[in-house]
Structure 1
Amino acid sequence: MGEVMPLVRRPKRVKTGPNSYQNYNSKGQQTSTTLKINGGTYTAKRNGGVKQTYNLGNGYSSVTETKPPRKMPKPKKFKPPKTVRLSKGGKSGDADLLALIAWIFAALFFVVRGLFLGLAYVIRKIAKK
């Protein structure tokens, strides 16, 4: 048995009036609308562009195409930079923890310094005797 080929439609051009057509692609989606007026052909494309074709005779034709307007990106809303707070809504944060550790080290430093100064004082007193 052979493989089953998927059904693919041929691109179509459907006449909708005496001088107008609708063009469809192989998926059945409308791609453009064509209108013939005064020897010129105007094709309005689905993306918003327009193509004008004029037959100049002797095998020459003039083609001008306008592109659709560019979509401008939406400006992003300004968000101010986040500030570091010592506490977030009553909860202890990282900054609070660091401050606590700093206070502990400062207290230990002064306690140890006091012990050494006291010990040095006692040693001096003993040495004088």
Structure 2
Amino acid sequence: MSLIEKCRLINLPKIADERGNLTFIEGNKQIPFGIERVYYLYDVPGGAERGGHAHKQLEQLIIASSGSFDVVLDDGNQKKRFHLNRPYFGLYVCPYIWRELDNFSSGSVCTVMASRPYEEDDYFRNYKDYLLVRSRK
């Protein structure tokens, strides 16, 4: 299995109710890691891109809590684009995957669950450096 094939959409529980739906996420149950940090992106200007990095150890679940956006995953050999537009689907991203987020709809909210606290040492921020490390694996 290639590294990018480890990344996948996860169908999260959806409890339907005429008063509104509810989705929940419990670490190590619906997703393959414990949750150490949650953050969200919002008010992203039209045409802007986010991401543009990879992680050495961090695992993530990316959710379109509102609106829609695309996530482009790249393992150094192949790329795959995911369109996220439902709050009951999350995109699991494993370590050593370069990610870019684009095509944000107006009013979209991107929620990210992360397996680790913020650690600058865990980032690859330069794509050429990332490719160099990936070529050695």
Calculate the TM-score normalised by the size of structure 2: 0.19
Query: Larger radius of gyration, structure 1 or 2?
Result: 1
Larger RCO (CA within 8 A; separation ≥ 6):
2
Larger % of strand: which?
2
Larger % of helix: which?
1
